[in-house]
A and B are shown apart, each in its own frame.
Chain A
Amino acid sequence: MDRSPRAVQRLLLVLALAAAMLFAVVAPALALVNPQVTLDQEQGGSPTRFTFVAITDKDASITGMDFTFPPGFDLSSVSFDTVTLEGLVRRPVNVTGAAAGETLSLKFAPSVEPSSTLRVQIHDVLTTNEGGTFPLKIAYSTESTATGTRVLSHRTDDTVKFSYTSLSFAEGISHNLDKNSFVAGWNNVKALGMFFKPQLVVTSIPTVITGWYLALVWIAFAFPIAIVGGLSFAFMKMSKIPPLRWIAAAYINVIRGTPLFLQIFVAFIGLRIAGFRVDDNVTAVAVLAMNSSAYLAEIFRAGIQSINKGQFEAASSLGMNYAQSMQYVIIPQTVKRVLPTMTSEFILLFKDTALFAAVGRPELMYQAQNIVANTGNMTPFVVIAAFYLIVTIPLINVVGRLEARLAVSEHGQSPTEKTKRRGGRLMNELAQSVDPYRATAPDSIHDDNERG
Chain B
Amino acid sequence: MSQYIVRIEGLHKSFGKLEVLKGVDLKVTKGEVVVVLGPSGSGKSTMLRCINKLEQPTDGRIFLEDIEITDPKTNINQVREQIGMVFQSFNLFPHLTAKANVMLAQRKVLKRDKAEASRIAEEQLRRVGLGDKMDNFPAQLSGGQQQRVAIARALAMNPHVMLFDEVTSALDPELVRGVLDVMKELAAAGMTMLVVTHEMGFARDVASRVVFMDEGVIVEEGTPEEVFDHPKSERTKDFLGHIT
Residues of A within 8 A of B (CB): 308, 310-311, 313-321, 324, 328-329, 332-333, 336, 409, 412-414, 416, 419, 430, 433-437, 439-440
Q: A320-B77, A321-B77 are in contact. Are A433 and B91 (CB under 8 A)?
A: no
Q: B109 touching A320 by the CB < 8 A rule?
A: yes
- CB < 8 Å: which of B91, B110, B143, B170 contacts A314? B91
> B110 to chain A: which residues have CB within 8 Å?
319
Chain B residue with the shortest CB-CB distance to A415: B137
Size bracket of the B interface: 35 or more
Q: Enumerate the 7 nearest inter-chain pairs by beta-carbon distance, A residue then B residue, closest first.
A: A319-B81, A314-B91, A318-B105, A436-B89, A414-B137, A310-B91, A317-B85
Known: A310-B87, A316-B54. A433 touches B94 (CB 8 A): no
Residue picked from B54, B142, B150, most chain A C-beta under 10 Å: B54
Q: Which residues of B contact A409 (CB under 8 A)?
A: 94, 139
B142 proximity list for chain A (CB < 8 A): 433
- Whether the Cβ atoms of B89 and A412 lie closer than 8 Å is no
Q: Mark B135-177, 1 if CB is under 8 A from A, else 0.
A: 0011110110010001001100100000000000010000000
* Contact between B157 and A310, CB atoms less than 8 A apart: no
The main secondary structure of chain A at its interface with chain B is helix
Interface residues of B (CB under 8 A from A): 52, 54, 77-78, 80-85, 87-95, 104-105, 108-110, 137-140, 142-143, 146, 150, 153-154, 157, 170
What is the CA–CA distance of A332 and B85 in the complex, to the nearest angstrom?
23
Would you call B78 and A319 a contact (CB within 8 A)?
Answer: yes
Residue of B nearest to A309 (CB): B91
A318 contacts B143, CB within 8 Å? no
Assess the A318–B154 pair: CB atoms within 8 A. yes
A315-B105, A319-B105, A329-B104 given; name 10 further pairs at CB < 8 Å: A313-B54, A316-B52, A316-B77, A318-B153, A320-B109, A328-B104, A434-B138, A436-B88, A436-B143, A439-B89
Can you name the residue of chain A whose Cβ is closest to the Cβ of B90? A436
Please name the residue on chain A nearest to B97 by beta carbon.
A414
Q: Is the CB of B95 within 8 A of A333?
A: yes
Q: List 9 A-B contacts (CB under 8 A).
A: A314-B85, A316-B52, A316-B54, A316-B77, A319-B82, A319-B109, A324-B109, A409-B139, A430-B140
Known: A332-B95, A436-B89, A436-B170. A318 touches B80 (CB 8 A): yes
A329 to B138, CA, bound (A): 14
Contacts of A430 in B (CB 8 A): 139-140
**Closest Cβ neighbor of A408 among chain B residues:** B139
Q: Is the CB of A440 within 8 A of B89?
A: yes
B residues less than 8 Å from A416 (CB atoms): 137, 140
